[in-house]
Amino acid sequence: MQNRVYSRYIYQMLMEHGCVAVREIGTFYLRKISAKFNENRQVLYPPSTGVYFSPNVDKDFEFSALLIESGLTREEAALLEKLISEDYKIAVQKNEAFELDQLGTISYDTFTEKEKHTFNRYVGLKDLNVKVKSGQKITHDENFEYYLQQNVSDKKESWQHYIGPALIALLTALCILLWFLSDSKPQKTEPVSNITVDSPKLSATDSIYQEIDNVLIENELKSEKSKPSESKEPQNTFTPPLSKEKVESSVSKECIVIVGAFIEKDNAKRMVKRIRSKGYTPYESEHDGKIRVGVKYDCAMHQPDDYKEKIKKFFNPEAWHLHDTL
């Protein structure tokens, strides 16, 4: 006989994390359906959520790992997962449908809900009838009513209104033309080959300084001849190029993918812990009384849409970019 205890744990993990995977069985995904109008756009259907089952096991949302994260011990989590696997094997051997109490049945890699709204987070929302109100008087300003009553011939402006702008445009074009013509004239240049440049004569003080410099140079030459020649190693003036990491970091841009908004701080802390355990950089902020938790990354290193789809698969199928809500 199948154990009915683990069904409520599967339901709880699915509604909290949006995804739960059970070994040797498959993965349950919570899919969101947005609100929409009917064909006549007179009825607005509320949003809803449903379940989607896949026989493939998503290792990022394993049932035992989610139970341990929620507070159970490793022994208790392993025992629950073992019970589910054993009951599922027995049902397959008997060629019977595997039943999850009050949730539905799994048969031939297909999950069938027991009731239509079992996995709907928005239970209680009803269809909204939309009606267009008629009979309201539309008021216009005085200018609108005045021009509405005038004939088409009265609305035409006379040619005198265009004289001023035409004259201004003509003068502007004339000034630009004269400016171009003045710059286009070639300028005469005189050769400078016949100009003689006299070298400056040294004053008395300058000649003294020059003699002192000559004496110093001679002393240095004598000292160099007396010393044995030493081979000097060439200095390495090569400067290594900047690494790709430094160049990329100079143009890095931070982006954030929000994976959840929590009312309880404990739930937000668990999600932050989970993000760190996967090797990502977590992000936290308060917005409208909730704690937003997300993943920070470099937009210059990753393509935003592809990175968001990757984060959706790991943490939450409903993840979104923070700049989409700003």
DSSP state of 160: G
* Amino acid identity, position 102: Q
**pLDDT at 288 exceeding the cut of 70:** yes
* Structural domain contains residue 33: yes
Which domain does 36 fall in, by range? 6-129
Measure Cα distances from 194 to 199, 206, 268 in Å.
16, 30, 87
Q: Which two tokens stand for residue 141?
A: 């300003």
Number of domains in the chain: 2
* Structural domain contains residue 237: no
Say what the pLDDT of residue 295 is.
92
* Structural domain contains residue 202: no
User: CA 318 to CA 61: how far, in whole Å?
Assistant: 15
* Structural domain contains residue 25: yes
* Structural domain contains residue 49: yes
Q: Which positions ≥6 away from 123 have C-beta within 8 Å?
A: 117
Domain boundary among 96, 112, 129: 129
**pLDDT at 122 exceeding the cut of 90:** no
pLDDT band at 204 (very low <50, low <70, confident <90, very high): very low
**pLDDT at 33 exceeding the cut of 60:** yes
* Structural domain contains residue 172: no
pLDDT in tens, 223-264: 655 555 444 444 444 444 544 444 444 456 889 999 898 998
**How is 193-246 classified by DSSP, letter by letter?**
TT---PPPPP-HHHHHHHHHHHHHHHHHHHHHHHSPP-PPPPP----PPPPHHH
Percentage of the chain lying above the pLDDT 70 cut: 67
Say what the pLDDT of residue 325 is.
61
Say what the pLDDT of residue 121 is.
82
Q: Pick the residue with more confidence: 291 or 187? A: 291
Least confident of 99-113, 163-177, 279-293: 99-113
User: CA 4 to CA 234: how far, in whole Å?
Assistant: 83
Q: Pick the residue with more confidence: 201 or 186? A: 186
Residue carrying structure tokens 């020649």? 229
Domain boundary among 129, 162, 180: 129
- Choose the most confident range, by mean pLDDT, from 149-163, 203-217, 267-281: 267-281
Q: Average pLDDT in the 307-326 region? A: 83
Q: Which two tokens stand for residue 57?
A: 């096991």
Residue carrying structure tokens 């009050």? 102
The reported pTM is 0.39
Domain boundary among 129, 158, 178: 129
Residue 255's CATH number: 3.30.70.1070
* Structural domain contains residue 135: no
Return phi, psi of residue 297, to 5°.
Answer: -155, 170
* Structural domain contains residue 119: yes
Q: Encode 116-132: b = buried (16+ Cβ within 10 Å), e = exposed.
A: eeebbeeeeeeeeeeee
